[in-house]
Chains A and B, each alone.
Chain A
Amino acid sequence: MTDVTLTINGEERSASVPPETSLLRLLRDEFFLTGSKLGCDVGDCGACTVIVDGLPVNACLMLAGQVDGRDVVTIEGLATLEDLHPIQKAFEEFASLQCGFCGPGVIISAKGLLDRNPDPTKEEIKDALSGNLCRCTGYTKMIEAVQDAARILRGEKEAA
């Protein structure tokens, strides 16, 4: 068994898991954070994207043991009791999600981008979301939502 202590959404958590456990399984099965989805388990679809030390990663490709002592942000860590994260609000407003399965991963990738680059071009947004597959909506509405959220986060637009 591997002992892991990490920070998840600002809270310190510990678990003892078999060494082959992925970060995704750790989050879903040990901490019941099921917002990160298992879509392919080989790093192709991006439905499991979480932020580790500020960078978006595929949680299915990272071992639980590799995140010991590190900081992880999942989709559950974005909204506060008071309000949704501007990206979540924009995704709702722009109807960017249909079946929703890819949604948490896409929103996390978008957050990873906007944290590093508050004013991305359309190409930069496309590039940031290129690891996230969607089979329903397509990407147009997602890109529009990310642009809108970026405007709100930069203070150029009032939150709806």
Chain B
Amino acid sequence: MTDDVKVADKTDSLTDLKETDEDLRLPSVVEPAHFPVETIDTEARHQTPAVGQRATRPDGRLHGLGQTKYIDDITFPNMLFAKMKRAGISSALIKSVDTSEAEAMPGVAAVLTGREIPVNSYGPSYQDQPVLADERVFHAGDPVAAVAAVTEQIAEEACERIKVEYEPLEPVYDPVEAMKDEIRVHPPHSNIYATKRIKKGDLEKGFAEADRIFEGVYSTQMIEHVPLEPHASIAQWDPNGRVTLWSSLGRITLGRADIARTLDMPINKIRIVGTIVGGNFGGKNEITTEPALALLSRKTGRPVKMVYTREEEFIASTTRHPFIMEYKTGVTNDGMITARKVRLVLDGGAYCSWSETTLGKACILSAGPYNIENLLAEAYCMYTNKTMTGAMRGFGAPQVCFAYESQMDEIAHKLGIDPLELRMKNAFHEGSASPTGQVLQSVVVKDSLEKAAERFGWKEDGQ
């Protein structure tokens, strides 16, 4: 009987029904469903080196479609919104914090103060910054309490109802004044919290060899990064005692260690999801609100989101260090630099943040790209009762560049030498030694200067 059945046909039909591995496999990257999936496939994607090739960014399309998910575009069920109460006073002792009225407000889920934070200090170099100020306020942007509520508006209103009693202290704002240590920002510690000194050759001999000595003081202002996306984070504490943080933080590994320290828990219980960052420029290199949000999430059992307002970006995130730069330079009448003495005073604001790195780089680069045999560069970073300063594009290099190039122009003008020629005479060449003794290779300063001068018509402009 079975002979009548066509086995081959059966097998065929079964093959049709069976899904192959290939059919079951999901695409490794899920394509956005509602938009064209074909991408511009440039040659640069297929070969190395890509220099000289036209390249597109792999994330460019979603940016342009408005489909990139930044923190503020992410929502979780039952999510709360946090706001922080800012001190508004630059130096004071905190006598008391009364949160009762805020806690009683409908819609407020939890209020957090500094005393509830297991280890209330953090920072990438020195742990001198409180998550929420508890005993003392160091600058006006310091947060003194955090509120999680069902809407941002309620959280904000609750912050206004938190009563903080301060005992005002005399602040210090001028970094040069702060050097005297008469008013200390972080007593008993000195305001001078980082220094660097670079010495090369014989300074006195160098100045003695000079025909002319030029002295000048240059200063730069505080600058905020202004990333278009403000700092933002979401924390979700789970019942296993672990916390997941979605954060606009640029350095998530470092942030994880800092969060573990402040929460006094093992690092393996902290998970950070680094999302696409809407501009960093150095300003998102350290944690800000994350530990407070984690604790608010623990208190409420709900996810908690906080996004800085633009105002908070200016008063409560890091900024670029203002510099005061004293330059003394000895030159011969034909424009050769014989000696340079540099003294840098960095206004570090209330907390160290990345000041040490900034100070180091600024000091090393303070002599400029010039062969100077006799050099002394000294740099000091100072605490003041102002918004903290930290990493920003160049770590101090742009500030000193402004000073030494301004002085080069003054020297050229006074000696009657073409500014370009003065730089060509003194600029690094192949094998020049940097102020710290590093022998430099692939040096193209002079070629770059010449090419630039030619391209923008320096000579023709009648300089």
Chain B residues contacting A74 (CB-CB under 8 Å) are 66
Contact flag A103-B226 (CB < 8 Å), given A95-B55, A135-B279, A135-B281: no
Q: Tell me the minimal C-beta distance from B276 to chain A in angstroms.
A: 7
Smallest CB gap from B59: residue in A: A100
Contact flag A42-B60 (CB < 8 Å), given A79-B35, A82-B36, A99-B277: no
Contact flag A95-B56 (CB < 8 Å), given A37-B229, A102-B228: yes
Q: Tell me the minimal C-beta distance from B308 to chain A in angstroms.
A: 11
Asked whether, in the complex, the Cβ of B60 is within 8 Å of the Cβ of A136, the reply is: no
**Which stretch (A64-72, A85-93, A117-125) binds chain B?**
A85-93
Main SS at interface, chain A: loop
Main SS at interface, chain B: loop
Asked whether, in the complex, the Cβ of A101 is within 8 Å of the Cβ of B40, the reply is: no
A152 on the interface (CB 8 Å rule)?
no
Asked whether, in the complex, the Cβ of A97 is within 8 Å of the Cβ of B60, the reply is: yes
B199 on the interface (CB 8 Å rule)?
no
Smallest CB gap from B229: residue in A: A101
Asked whether, in the complex, the Cβ of A134 is within 8 Å of the Cβ of B228, the reply is: yes
B188 on the interface (CB 8 Å rule)?
no
Task: Report which residue of A36, A47, A99, A102 has the largest number of chain B beta carbons within 10 angstroms of its beta carbon.
Answer: A99
**Which stretch (B68-76, B109-117, B135-143, B205-213) binds chain A?**
B68-76
Task: Report which residue of A76, A84, A100 has the largest number of chain B beta carbons within 10 angstroms of its beta carbon.
Answer: A100
Task: Report which residue of A76, A83, A103 has the largest number of chain B beta carbons within 10 angstroms of its beta carbon.
Answer: A103
Within the assembled complex, what's the spacing in Å between the Cα atoms of A92 and B42? 12
Asked whether, in the complex, the Cβ of A83 is within 8 Å of the Cβ of B36, the reply is: yes
Asked whether, in the complex, the Cβ of B61 is within 8 Å of the Cβ of A99, the reply is: no
- Interface members, chain B 27-68 (any A CB < 8 Å): 34-36, 40, 55-57, 59-68
Task: Report which residue of B57, B64, B69 has the largest number of chain A beta carbons within 10 angstroms of its beta carbon.
Answer: B64
Chain A residues contacting B75 (CB-CB under 8 Å) are 32
Which residue from A35, A79, A101, A133 sits with its C-beta under 8 Å from B278? A101
Task: Report which residue of B35, B225, B228 has the largest number of chain A beta carbons within 10 angstroms of its beta carbon.
Answer: B228
- Interface members, chain B 267-319 (any A CB < 8 Å): 276-281, 307, 309-310
Within the assembled complex, what's the spacing in Å between the Cα atoms of A50 and B230? 20
B369 on the interface (CB 8 Å rule)?
no
Contact flag A35-B228 (CB < 8 Å), given A82-B36, A135-B279: no
B residues engaging A (CB < 8 A)? 34-36, 40, 55-57, 59-70, 72-73, 75, 153, 225-230, 276-281, 307, 309-310
What are some 30 contacts across the A-B interface (CB < 8 A)?
A34-B72, A34-B73, A35-B67, A37-B70, A38-B72, A41-B310, A75-B66, A76-B66, A79-B35, A79-B36, A79-B65, A81-B34, A83-B36, A84-B35, A84-B61, A84-B64, A91-B63, A92-B64, A97-B60, A97-B64, A99-B63, A99-B227, A99-B278, A100-B60, A100-B278, A101-B228, A101-B279, A103-B66, A135-B226, A160-B40
10 closest A-B pairs (Cβ-Cβ)? A35-B66, A100-B63, A101-B278, A75-B66, A34-B73, A101-B228, A104-B66, A40-B310, A88-B64, A92-B60
